[in-house]
Amino acid sequence: MNKTNTANFLRAGRLALALTALFVAGCQKSIDKPASTNPLQADEAKAAKDNNGGKKIGHFTQVNLVANNSEYGAAFIDPTLMNAWGIAFAPNGTAWVNSQEGHVSEVYTSEGAPTALGRVNIPLPAATTGGNPTGIVFNGSNTAFIIPGSSAARFIFVGVDGVLSAWNGAQGTTARRIAAVPQSAFTGLTTGAAGTDTFLYAANFAARKINVWNKSFAPVVMPFSDPGIPAGYAPFNIQNIDGLLYVTYAKVAANGESQAGMGLGYVDVYNTAGVLVKRFASGGTLNAPWGLAKVPASFFGNDEADDDDSGPMILVGNFGDGRINAYTTSGKFKGQLRGSHGHDMIQIEGLWAITLPPATSTIDQRRLYFAAGPDDETHGLFGYIIARMDDGDLNDD
């Protein structure tokens, strides 16, 4: 893959401040807590055991819709799509895809075609453009998350530069900066309701915590603590699935970034008040897990699950090796998704978001959309995988 020295230099410059903050924050979190303080040891042991017996699941075809260059065979080329990260859909199926290295949120049709809006600039802590967006959510409320001097935000973003920003139509092509949190690197974002309020929840990989804001964008403190996770791990992503908050944890490398490696990862479930409910998955095939999605049994096409596991599943995507793990909703590990030939695993380099399209759209609900940053996060890829309809059993090797 051809890259110029100029491109590498610019990328290094953009990341320097973020990496410095990540490393400093990492050095400040070194207290190991004894395993005996973990109230969920049984859950952790079960998750670790279940994580070792999975099989290859399904037969899936990968369709690349948009890439930053021609080497991925995508239907559309968008040079500004670099390190595609979070995805959020409007109810009609328009896709917003955060381009972290492109400093924008791209706006595509469900087939990857450019839209009239094109893209929205994301702010830095002290500039209106040049931001580094990661997590993104759609806001359908007209009374929550009001942009100062305007109306409710429709899309809300966080970035590895510690910026929280928001957009509605009145903002034109540039999102409004809402807050800039020092020594923070936000890597995931979701929303949830607790009591009479609605909240934003952001995974802060640098500070190793979950940041929370209420519907007025005021900061709120919630516990989000699992004493059973070893020191050296940090929240990597957070997603709301059926009213519960699933949090992935990745190991922090010496340079402050996530460390890849088989078994390096955890997934916890919290309620929307930040109280730990259970350990969902530990180690096994987890490898810097980030992507989270719940899929129905129909997602697997003509394949049929074995035993009594034919219901919905929770998918967990690995940033570390690009593979997608499948679990029952109770946390039993079923295996990893495989490609259309049945033997090779689906493996998307630099895999970030995985998500189904909105049920309010006309998009095929068997599509699992993904965003990725291949080639060490310098390239961008947006597409989907879909089950082939002519293959055999779910766990057929």
Query: For the chain, where are the alpha helices, taking DSSP H only?
Result: 5-27, 41-50, 374-377
211-242 pLDDT, tens digit each: 999 999 999 999 999 999 999 999 999 999 99
Give 84's strand partners.
Answer: 99
Q: From CA 305, how far away is CA 316, in angstroms rounded?
A: 18
Tokens describing residue 58: 């399904």
Return the SS3 of 326.
strand
Strands 324-328 and 333-339, bridge-based pairing: antiparallel
Residue linked to tokens 């917003």? 96
- Select from 163, 85, 154, 87 the least CA-distant residue to 128: 163
In order along its 397 residues, the chain shows pLDDT tens digits of: 333 333 333 343 344 334 334 433 333 332 233 233 344 444 444 444 444 445 678 899 999 999 999 999 999 999 999 999 999 999 999 999 999 999 999 999 999 999 999 999 999 999 999 999 999 999 999 999 999 999 999 999 999 999 999 999 999 999 999 999 999 999 999 999 999 999 999 999 999 999 999 999 999 999 999 999 999 999 999 999 999 999 999 999 999 999 999 999 999 999 999 999 999 999 999 999 999 999 999 999 865 444 455 799 999 999 999 999 999 999 999 999 999 876 689 999 999 999 999 999 999 999 999 999 999 999 999 999 999 875 444 443 3
Q: From CA 168, how far away is CA 155, in angstroms rounded?
A: 7
159-193 pLDDT, tens digit each: 999 999 999 999 999 999 999 999 999 999 999 99
8-state DSSP, 231: T
Strands 333-339 and 55-67, bridge-based pairing: parallel
**Domain boundaries, given as residue ranges, for the chain:** 37-387
Tokens describing residue 341: 């030939």
CATH number 2.120.10.30 given to 37-387: yes
Number of C-beta neighbours around residue 202 at 10 A: 28
Give 268's strand partners.
Answer: 247, 279
Q: List CB contacts of 277: < 8 A, sequence separation 6 or more.
A: 244, 268, 269, 270, 271
Tokens describing residue 269: 């479930």
* 48 φ, ψ (degrees, to nearest 5): -65, -40
Q: Are 214 and 199 in contact (CB under 8 A)?
A: yes
